[in-house]
Amino acid sequence: MTGPLVRVEELTKHFPITSGVIFDRVVGAVRAVDGVSFEIQKGETLGLVGESGCGKTTVGRTLLGLYPATSGRSIIDNLSVHESTGAELMQIRRKAQMIFQDPYASLNPRWTVNAIISEPLRVHKLLASQKERDDRVKELLELVGLNVRHMNRFPHEFSGGQRQRIGIARALASDPLFIVCDEPISALDVSIQAQVVNLLEKLQDHLGLTYLFVAHDLSMVRHICDRVAVMYLGVMVETAERDELYEKPRHPYTQALLSAVPLPDPRKERARQRTILVGDVPSPINPPSGCRFHPRCPIAVDRCKTEVPKWREVAPGHYTACHLVTE
Ligand code: SF4
């Protein structure tokens, strides 16, 4: 295949706000995602970061077709997600999977591990006999580091980290090419977060997977991602190769986010200047005019209040949307 495995073009997702006795009157919209575009190459991990509520989870869900798009589109392995139906849609569902933030809420508590992991095999009619499906479940359990003798247990009998491994095994069952990892470690104990990240890296090497890694832990994103995209209030503000973004962040919002990440070297940590963001993230129901970041930006000028900054390449492969960033 040539070209990127995943292409997201001007993807927009607004959630209508309704009113009236039977909620039939649309009175506004939560503009969760507004015209987001990016690409992910085969085998690459793109990190999608930003504060809570910036729309990054909605991007992941909408690009997979779990939410209908308000406008724009996503293309996975040359198939247009929101325009596909029937066999093509099933093909996308098989090729693109999701690992959820809360491993417990995403697993059916009444089903055994075997039933949970083999569900995609049944849905996609991938293996005909029960014996073949059982063998595949055992193979997947081994792949994610779980004991095959536990396949007839229920989710509540496992720890948080083990449950996330069950979720990962389920995502792998249909042999996907692309996985959206939606904050896969943020609900886990710090002591096991690294284990799950290491497992995701190992699986990527072993199976040639492509990831969109949605997260707010910027240290972990630096560890696992090849490229990083930063969102603020429903829009993309910066994207670059990982080291370029962490070492030379250009957008004031990215600079503020990174200045809050602790440095391992105590001398560097003491010496550096922090950018403290003032105020809260504005409401996505009525986002600020011009640059959405202007009410909190420490270097905003008048123009920022009225003019939407253009998305520009400011260094090779490094894009940002800010009036004041020069090449
Ligand atoms: Fe700040 Fe203006 Fe740049 Fe927006 S466009 S980030 S408000 S300087």
Q: Is the CB of 309 under 6 A from ligand 1?
A: yes
| Below-70 pLDDT ranges, the chain | 1-2, 21-23
Q: pLDDT value at position 2?
A: 66
Q: pLDDT value at position 271?
A: 78
Rounded to the nearest angstrom, the distance between the alpha carbon of 296 and the centre of ligand 1 is: 9
Residues 6+ apart with CB under 8 A from 61: 67, 98, 180, 182
3-class SS of residue 318: strand
Residue 12: what residue type?
A: T
Q: Is the CB of 303 under 6 A from ligand 1?
A: no
What span, in angstroms and rounded, lies between the C-alpha atoms of 168 and 210?
14
User: Which residue's CA is minimally distant from atom 8 of ligand 1?
Assistant: 300
Rounded to the nearest angstrom, the distance between the alpha carbon of 85 and the centre of ligand 1 is: 41
Q: pLDDT value at position 19?
A: 82
What span, in angstroms and rounded, lies between the C-alpha atoms of 77 and 55?
24
Residues 6+ apart with CB under 8 A from 200: 168, 181, 184, 211, 224
Q: pLDDT value at position 72?
A: 97
User: Which residue's CA is minimally distant from atom 7 of ligand 1?
Assistant: 294
- Distances in whole angstroms, Cα of residue 176 to Cα of each of 130, 135, 209, 212: 21, 18, 8, 13
CA-based radius of gyration for the chain: 21
DSSP state of 288: P
User: Which residue's CA is minimally distant from atom 3 of ligand 1?
Assistant: 322
Q: CA nearest 115: which of 182, 169, 188, 187?
A: 169
Q: Is the CB of 232 under 6 A from ligand 1?
A: no
Rounded to the nearest angstrom, the distance between the alpha carbon of 56 and the centre of ligand 1 is: 20
Which tokens in the block code for residue 24? 């039939």
Rounded to the nearest angstrom, the distance between the alpha carbon of 325 and the centre of ligand 1 is: 9
Rounded to the nearest angstrom, the distance between the alpha carbon of 236 and the centre of ligand 1 is: 13
What span, in angstroms and rounded, lies between the C-alpha atoms of 127 and 9?
35
What span, in angstroms and rounded, lies between the C-alpha atoms of 113 and 127?
17
What span, in angstroms and rounded, lies between the C-alpha atoms of 91 and 100?
21
Which tokens in the block code for residue 273? 């200047």
* Atom in ligand 1 nearest the alpha carbon of residue 253: 6
Q: pLDDT value at position 32?
A: 96
